[in-house]
Amino acid sequence: MNKTLKIYLLVFAVLIAVMVAIDLTREKPPDWSPTYYLDEKNPLDLYVLNREANRLFNDSVIRYDRNPFEYFQRQDSLNIKKETYLFVREYLYIDDALANKILNAVKQGSTLFIASDGFPSYLTDTLQATCDYVSYGNPVEFNSNADENMGTLQFNAGDRPELKLRFSNEAWSGKEYSYSPVFGQYAFVSADAVSATALGYMAFPDESEYINFMEFRFGKGKIFLHNQPVIFSNYSLLSNETLQEYAERVLSYLPDQPVVWFVESQQNDGGKGKTSLSVIFNYPALRMTWLIFLYGLIVFVFFTAKRKQRVVPVIKPLQNTTVEFAQTIGNLYFQEGDISDIARKKIIYFLDRVRRTYNIDTQLPEDKLTDRLHLKSGKDMELIGEILSLIREVERQNRCSKQELIRLSTLIDCFWNED
């Protein structure tokens, strides 16, 4: 290891140490991503609720960390235990097959509780309910008897510093619970008045009010849907004691049954579209270390990418000596002055090429050879006759003049170059 490389490695190590020290000492801003993880302490996670769950449910909580479909797949459809199935997340992603299994369990006496900013369409369609995005300029009416006095409220859109929550229960109806900022604007806009009951309402800063907490009777069991999962988050439970009371009262509607809290699926939902490297980029210290490593590697390659081997000698390619050979032979014939020999060689080369190209016997009589070559080659018959006549004349005289050689060479070139 040379001295330069040691310096690079030392500088790289010092940079990593400095960045780690800065990251450990700086104040990290809170992550407001609505992940709702059980073991995280960010504002919109469920660390506090997870810690208090055993007390709230009398130590009967099972935290299921795999796909919910596997849990229901193992159950005997004819003898399903009465349990409470708990989901708390930003949005609940379940397919129709899983929804059918959950609804089958509820029909036999189990309870389903979902706190989410939106619900699967298959579930709401089965319950004959509609949960939709609502704006301040479009208040809605609900056709349940519990909501006959809501009416239609008119308002002016404006700021929304806080959201107010209240219960329809007469014992609690006189108390409002407020939190800020407003995180969700999905509300129940319709439901079956026979099977559904409005348990709670939310009011925006402009005093427009919507249903946010519903109870549905389904077979022998019940389904509770709450559209503000934020009230169960670390932020709500630690920032406002009244919201702790509100969360406890919401959960008090659940029957005294073992609780199965499905946590694995919401973690998977939070990780959709992530890759292995996304784990590194989730943590600032790992992210900075990874980037320094990449930049350091680029700098290392840039400064050390020198040729470490001897220079490869340049090998000149072999020269094409065909032209030089032809010039040499031509000079030899020119110096000897044997024109007849040149003519004989051109005749021999011409006839040999005719035999190889057109597969013709060149020993045929001149008239037959002319016809045969014309048919095979498609060349002009007069040109062929003139070439063969000149060849016969040279062979008969056994000599050739300079003018005859030039004429013979010209005619042969015309024959082979003619289209």
> What pLDDT shows up at residue 147?
39
The average pLDDT across 110-135 equals 91
More confident residue, 11 or 164: 164
> What pLDDT shows up at residue 83?
94
More confident residue, 153 or 335: 335
Cα–Cα distance, 162 to 203 (Å, whole number): 9
Cα–Cα distance, 208 to 55 (Å, whole number): 36
Return the residue matching tokens 């519990």.
146
Lowest-confidence pick of 64-68, 193-197, 280-284, 404-408: 280-284
> What pLDDT shows up at residue 327?
67
Q: Quick one: pLDDT band at residue 76, thresholds 50, 70, 90? A: low
Domains and CATH numbers, the chain: 47-152+159-272 (3.40.50), 327-417 (no CATH)
> What pLDDT shows up at residue 129?
93
Q: Which residues, other chains included, contact 230 with Cβ-Cβ below 8 Å and sequence gap of 6+?
A: 34, 44, 179, 183, 184, 236
* pTM of the full structure: 0.58
Q: Quick one: pLDDT band at residue 270, thresholds 50, 70, 90? A: very low
The average pLDDT across 309-328 equals 71
Backbone torsions φ then ψ of 18, nearest 5 degrees: -65, -45
Q: Is the pLDDT of residue 143 over 80?
A: no
Decide if 171 contacts 215 (C-beta within 8 A): no
Q: Map 37-50 to HEC letters.
A: CCCCCCCCCCHHHH
Sign of the torsion angle spanned by Cα atoms 61, 64, 68, 69: negative
The average pLDDT across 318-334 equals 66
Q: Strand 61-64 and strand 177-179: pairing?
A: unpaired
Beta bridge partners of residue 61, listed in sequence order? 259
Give the tens place of pLDDT for each residue, 330-381: 666 666 667 788 888 888 888 998 888 888 888 888 888 889 888 888 888 8
Cα–Cα distance, 243 to 172 (Å, whole number): 13
Q: Quick one: pLDDT band at residue 154, thresholds 50, 70, 90? A: very low
Decide if 113 contacts 224 (C-beta within 8 A): yes
Return the C-alpha torsion angle 53, 59, 61, 62, nearest 10: 130
> What pLDDT shows up at residue 266?
43
Cis, bond preceding 181 (omega within 30 deg of 0): yes
The average pLDDT across 202-218 equals 89
Q: Quick one: pLDDT band at residue 149, thresholds 50, 70, 90? A: very low
The average pLDDT across 166-195 equals 86
Give the tens place of pLDDT for each residue, 282-310: 667 777 778 888 887 787 777 766 656 66
